Structure 1
Amino acid sequence: MNERMLTIEKMNLKLPRGFEKRADAIAREVARQLARMPLTQSYEYKTLMIPGVVVFNGETDQVIAGRIAQSIHRQLHTPVQSKQSGLYSQDTERFSAQNADNPSMEKKRGID
């Protein structure tokens, strides 16, 4: 049986101010949720960028991670479109979230 696999070696989350302590838990939850999503093939990207995800105050880590995981999953299933729209890059890896209350308040957080 050919097993399909998605491996994430490094995830960079760009989260709104105040989410610094939640970044590790959100990243782990993104990985858990992605593991439950069906894959049509195995994927190997040096870098995959996704569009910003809106984050509302009071949302749980699971809700935020679910939105990020869904966005990653969509990008994986539209790689040609992603490259054409500039969302795919070989130089940077970024998963970003935007604070709906104040989009300018963002902090980059690297997860190893």
Structure 2
Amino acid sequence: MPIQRVHPGPRMSEMVIHNETVYLSGQIADDGSTDVESQTRDVLRQIDALLAEAGTDKTKLLTATIYLADIGTFASMNKVWDAWVDPANAPARATVEARLAAPEYLVEIQVVAAR
């Protein structure tokens, strides 16, 4: 089965599809000047759009890795995540504190989904 690279760039592809598995690169907010809740909403909106482009959706998430610039924002991020995720189909998930690519980014989320 071929590998499909979606929105490829010189360093990475935004999404890779192999067999019936969809791999998204880490997604960050379009606007880094907002708080972690706003950034999380924006990231989840982007994830929804990419999954739809691949012919799947959040009910088919397999895993999620969430990177927070400050683990002290865990509850605020979870407030948005919990409103978004399908509780009947929650993925395996890890959340870690990490220094992100630029200081304005407060959250980055990477997911893998089935189609």
Q: Same fold (TM over 0.5)?
A: no
Q: Report the TM-score when normalising by structure 2.
A: 0.28
Q: Report the TM-score when normalising by structure 1.
A: 0.29
Greater RCO (CA < 8 Å, at least 6 residues apart): 1
Task: From the two aligned structures, give the one with the greater strand fraction.
Answer: 2
